[in-house]
Amino acid sequence: MKAAVLREINKPLVIEDVQIDNPGPREVLVRTAAAGVCHSDYHFMNGSYTTALPSIMGHESAGVVEKVGSEVSYLKPGDHVISCMSMFCGSCRYCLTGKPYGCDNLDDMAREDRIFKGDENVYQGYNLGSFAEQMLLHEHALVKIRPDMPLDRAALIGCAVTTGVGSVIHTAKVEPGSTVVVIGCGGVGLSAVNGAAIAGAGQIIAVDITDEKLALAKQFGATNGVNATNHDPVEAILELTSGGADYAFEALGLKHTCEQAFDMIRPSGTACIIGMVPEGQKIEINAASLINDRRLIGSNMGSNAFRIDMPRFVKFYMQGKLNLDALISRHVSLEEVNDAYTEMLSGSVARSVITFDID
């Protein structure tokens, strides 16, 4: 099969032919239909986070089951599925207390001898490796979805939507009528805007550096937009909200925007960091602000229970509540993946989606 492989940090992905194993007892072979081009992979590609090499990138995907292992009962060939990097064992303290996204036993479910090039082992980024024509995954990395859901839209639920919407409804628990700010209008940020609208927020303010992204955010439910290149975003938010937002979500993973998110909230407000801040970076806040019950929290992929959440998000899309159509800026081939990352870094797209021929 063809796959986009990271062989060197800060070098383009290489399209290679690799060999994939047959499923083990609890594994599933999936024919990849679509994979979103997400900034999270780029953190590993540029060295902000460490990864084993060589590694197939990609983690936001959907496809069709081809084969299942001898002990798999949840899935069968022909099922349509979404992958998720929040694999769960179902028996650790996190899984048993309703926090499967924090599972303690991921390493036990991710063997390192699934994909090869000759005698060389090729790793799977996030234990998924979605930038490939096939994926061999533990059954607990997959959720079955209804077959009438378009798979290119479904792929976005695999990361951007679950992270953005989940951070709003699960992590921060946004209340109806509240004031919400979202910094960064890429795939995750736009999903957070959409999630705030679904949660019934009374005012949703999008912050970005391009007017095009701010206009797009209004299609997802934003009531206001602030261009951070033209205005001090903190001052603008304090003025628009008469003293600060109830909730602020940072969807870029930058030190200064994380600090801005905290400065935008009112007393008893919550700033939620959903972007991936590079390893080792520190976020600085005014400690005196904590006296006023302000909260700075993180979110692990929207604090999801993905086998429950993702089918719900599919239903939301089919009901017209979740705007996945406008989230896709363009479709690309696997061979165009490096161009897609160049576009993503320019800030000119919300999400590019790699599509595969699965006929």
Which residues have a catalytic role annotated?
38, 40, 43, 59, 159
| Cα 151 to Cα 157: distance, rounded to the nearest angstrom | 10
| Cα 122 to Cα 336: distance, rounded to the nearest angstrom | 21
User: Could you tell me which of 272, 276, 212, 266 has the C-alpha nearest to residue 239?
Assistant: 266
* Three-class DSSP category at 110: coil
| Cα 52 to Cα 203: distance, rounded to the nearest angstrom | 43
What tokens does 230 get? 């033209």
Inter-CA distances, 354 with 32, 155, 211, 276, Å: 10, 10, 26, 22
| Cα 121 to Cα 140: distance, rounded to the nearest angstrom | 23
Q: Judge contact between 332 and 349, C-beta under 8 A.
A: no
User: Could you tell me which of 310, 332, 333, 334 has the C-alpha nearest to residue 322?
Assistant: 310
The neighbouring-strand residues paired with 206 are 182, 225
Task: Tell me the CB-side half-sphere exposure of residue 70, using CA atoms within 13 A.
Answer: 2
Q: H helices of 157-251, where? A: 162-166, 187-199, 211-219, 233-240
What tokens does 117 get? 């090039």
Among positive and negative, which fits the CA dihedral 299, 304, 123, 340?
A: negative
Q: What does 239-304 look like in DSSP terms, one character per residue?
A: HHTTS-EEEEEE-S--HHHHHHHHHTEEEEEEEEE-S-PPTT------GGGGGGT-EEEE-SGGG-
Residues 6+ apart with CB under 8 A from 336: 354
